[in-house]
Structure 1
Amino acid sequence: MTRILLIGGGHTHVVALRHLARRKPAGLDIHLVSPDLTTSYSGLLPGHIAGHWKRHTLEIPLPPLCRTAGATLHSTRATSLDPAAQTVDLADGDTLSFDYASLDIGAIAEVSGPESLRKLGVPVKPLGPFADRWSAFVSQVETGKLPPHAAVLGAGTAGVELALSMKYRLEKLGLSRPVHVSLIERGTDLLPGGNASMRAQLQRELKRAGVAMFTGETVADADEDSLRLASREDVPAGFVALATGARPQAWLTGTGLTLNDGFVSVGQALQSVSHPHVFACGDTAHLTFDPRPKAGVFAVRQGAVLAKQLVRLAANQPLAQYHPQKDYLKLVSLGRRRAIAEKWGVTLNMPGLWALKRHIDLKFMDNY
């Protein structure tokens, strides 16, 4: 039997397990290491923040998925990996050996700012804890314990979606106190490096929703009620979302794997360029042959590829090549039941796009 160790319950591993459950290849002893019993699906997060979806709607339960795929679930966290010895140390004190391992442990928010911001800010990743912190904040706002003031740091697509979703949710509470939601970007504009047409339309949506925008700004200090910007302007914020880009899990630096800015460098078969018996996927991987953004759409597509690789390993067949899509349909939620779409440089803002996004996301979840 070939022992496969899947480290992390990210999108790629979840999709791979679904494919393996259908094929049930012989000769594989599959193990999944995850500290959580569920995985939160990123596509539904903005809708949950806006109040359209209940918390449980985001969750993919891992125990039944593992049972169906014939995999053993270890409910703990990996703390180190030795690719030479082919072992992984776990937080519960156990050590697992492997023939092949795959890393899909996600990433965490990159925060460059004062210690006060690091303490008070809530990283968007991992998604589950972020959703829980948001729900707790909304509950306190509803009971009058906190004012309806929130801020989002980072004006990429995720940050814009969150700001619009937060504004919608807080206004729907029907409070007498005014709602303040701010979007803060250190760059000169939102959607850095993004499509100009999409940027213009999202700027209009943010203005329509009454989200305050601050570009070319950084946070100098933070307390429980507000943020002090470098320009010395005070921004009211009882909840601060950190959508400020991704940095890797720190323990990867001790693995001896070849890294790029802390992410595992992989070739076109998703294998580590230095240790081919270790795969890396999703936000954990740096695609040396065709670098891509840290976006869930790539992690999901990699799931089928990883499953194919494991089946081929069991059959002693050559591995497949992963070809990331050059472009993909971007559906950006606007908080209210509207969405904007962009593909091939063309942006659409029309009725029906939110329904399309809902259909795609819920169809994905139906598989679990």
Structure 2
Amino acid sequence: MFSVTPVKDLVLIGGGHSHVIVLKQLAINPIPRLRLTLISDVYHTPYSGMLPGYIAGLYKFNDCHIDVQALANLAKARLLIDRAIGLDLQTNQVLCANRPPVPFDILSIDIGSTPGTMTVPGVQQQAIPVKPIAKFLDHWDKIVETVRENPREKMRLAVVGGGAGGVELTLAIFSRLQQIYGLHSQLPENHLELHLFQKSDRLIPQRHPGVSQRLQKLISSRGINLHLGETVTEIEGKSPHSIHCESGLTVKCDRLFWVTQARAATWLKDAGLATDDQGFILVNDYLQSISHPDIFAAGDIATMLNHPRPKAGVFAVRQGKPLAENLGRKANQQPLKPYRPQKEFLILISTGDQQAIASRGCFRLGPHPLIWQWKDHIDRQFMNNFTQLD
């Protein structure tokens, strides 16, 4: 009598950068007797590298969003539009917000992160967090529409967080709204009031000081109010909001975007997964949970125990193929392959006006249109992997 290999359930939670690559890889090289399920709370997952360009009006929605349904169909995966809210690790089930638990034999998690320090008084009620991105973009599209319909009303906006994400967002907001206001020649120059708060004494402190200096000079030259060394302690009142800082500084604004250091969803640690101090899943060199060998994680939600790296999209993209290979090896009971991330990594910071700054280690260049063209080419190449599925 011949034994039949049982069907195994591989469940992917989240449609992040690593998981869309996994889906594409499994579509190209399907694994026999592996049933694939994707749990995603959106039909279109955003590519973070192009979002500043979208906010600045340089891209359309479809340019920077991946059609998760089409990708799932290509990989012959079942797509469940829902939000994971917990794990039952005794029975190997994913708990969802709106449907019965989803069983798994192998699980992979790529759900990104959310802005940290949301416990600051008033932030939960008044601030617009940049993640989840889909909700943030809903808010942004409404702001753009408000400015279009009421261009003579002054708009006061603030961004809290001076990392790469906060800087790109601030410059993109400025460029987009200035485009709209520029259509109305009778408006005063200061019709847009924009503030950027950073608790450190310089922007993007993880990069070379020369990058910080260039960005600070650029931001100031555009009339954006830069508040360095300012820790926001409270957001008071509905629009207009009063932003209170530890120093005593108070600034009023109509909308407030929160782009501070990332944190993880609390249900991961609550389920019993080993996590770091911020709640991110601790994984080994195989992108495998150090506490639960049937669970893998990648992207912002994971911290590599032996190779900790910043939360940056470049690592999520690079982890995609190694993750796909190890999920396949796990399903086939083969030895896993280690993955070692690069130590130095290039970032291309868009400045909202079809220019960008390049930074890697001590190297920095720009802002310059050629660097934007380089970045645009890289981003469009990545997206072509998921828009040309035939």
Secondary structure, counterpart of 2:50 in structure 1: helix
The match for 2:178 is 171
SS at match of 1:101: strand
Aligned to 1:44: 50
The offset of 1:112, in angstroms, is 4.9
**Letter in structure 2 aligned against 1:32:** L
Whether the 8 Å contact between 1:82 and 1:88 is mirrored in structure 2 is yes
Q: TM-score, normalised by structure 2?
A: 0.90
SS in 1 for 2:122: helix
1:251 to 257, 267, 270: 267
**Cα offset, 1:316, TM superposition:** 2.5
- Residue 335 of structure 1: CA displacement? 1.0
Structure 1 consecutive aligned stretches of length 4 or more whose deviation exceeds 6 Å: none
Partners of 2:95 and 2:269 in 1: CA distance: 15
User: Which of residues 146, 157, 167 in structure 2 aligns to 1:160?
Assistant: 167
Q: Partners in 2 of 1:362 and 1:239 — Cα distance? A: 31
Distance 1:275 1:232 in 2: 47
Amino acid paired to 2:59: W
Between the aligned partners of 2:362 and 2:34, the Cα distance in structure 1 is: 43
Give structure 2 stretches of 5+ with no counterpart.
1-6
Match of 1:334 in 2: 351
2:257 to 234, 237, 241: 241
**Contact 1:217–1:229 (Cα < 8 Å) also in 2:** no
Cα distance in 1, alignment partners of residues 316 and 255 from structure 2: 29
- Counterpart-to-counterpart distance in 2, 1:105 and 1:76: 12
Q: Is the 8 A contact 1:83 1:256 kept in 2?
A: yes
Residue correspondence of structure 1 range 1-368 to structure 2 within 5 A: 1-112=7-118, 114-144=120-150, 147-173=154-180, 174=182, 175=184, 176-177=187-188, 178-219=191-232, 220-223=234-237, 224-230=239-245, 231-261=247-277, 262-349=279-366, 350-368=368-386
CA contact (8 A) 2:126 2:235 kept: no
Alignment partners' CA distance in 2, 1:246 and 1:85: 30
User: For the residues of structure 1 that align with 2:198 and 2:327, how far apart are their CA atoms?
Assistant: 41
Q: Distance in 2 between matches of 1:22 and 1:4?
A: 16
Deviating more after overlay: 191-200 vs 354-363: 191-200
Identity value in percent? 38
- SS, match of residue 356 in structure 1: helix
- For 1:42 and 1:136, the matched residues in 2 are separated by 20
Task: Pick which of 248-257 and 154-163 moved more.
Answer: 248-257
Higher alpha-carbon deviation: 343-352 or 34-43: 343-352
Residue identity opposite 2:175 in structure 1: Y
> CA offset at residue 113 of structure 1?
5.8
Is the Cα–Cα contact under 8 Å of residues 13 and 111 in structure 2 kept in the other structure?
Answer: yes
State the distance in 2 between where 1:185 and 1:317 align.
Answer: 48
What are the superposed Cα offsets for residues 129-167 of structure 1, whole Å, 9 maximum, x if unpaired?
A: 112211101111222285322111000111111111111
State the secondary structure of the residue aligned to 1:352: helix
SS state at 1:337 partner: coil
Q: After the TM superposition, which of the residue ranges 186-195 and 29-38 deviates more from structure 2?
A: 186-195
How far apart are 1:114 and its partner, in Å?
4.1
The one-letter code of the counterpart of 1:289 is N
CA distance in 1 between counterparts of 2:333 and 2:123 reads: 51
TM-score when normalising by structure 1 = 0.95
How far has the Cα of 1:265 moved from its partner? Answer: 0.8
Contact 2:168 2:349 in 1 (8 A): yes
Letter in 2 for 1:287: M
Question: Does the 8 A contact of 2:88 with 2:271 survive in 1?
Answer: yes
Q: Which moved more, 1:356-365 or 1:112-121?
A: 112-121
Deviates more, 1:163-172 or 1:86-95: 86-95
RMSD of the alignment, in Å? 1.6
Gaps of 5+ in 1: none
- CA deviations on 1:235-283 (whole Å, 9 max, x unpaired) are 3422211110111112112211111121111101011101111111111
The one-letter code of the counterpart of 1:229 is: H
Segment of structure 1 superposing worse, 138-147 or 71-80: 138-147
8 Å CA contact retained: 1:226, 1:234: no
The SS at the match of 2:354 is strand
Q: Which moved more, 1:119-128 or 1:272-281?
A: 119-128
Determine helix, strand or coil for the equivalent of 1:336: coil
How far, CA to CA, are the matches of 2:346 and 2:286 in structure 1?
A: 24
* 3-state SS, counterpart of residue 138 of structure 1: helix
How many angstroms apart in 1 are the aligned matches of 2:244 and 2:98? 42
How many angstroms apart in 1 are the aligned matches of 2:314 and 2:25? 17
Alpha carbons of 1:112 and 1:6: their partners in 2 closer, same or farther (altered >3 Å)?
Answer: closer
- C-alpha change, 1:153 and 1:115, in structure 2 (3 Å) is same
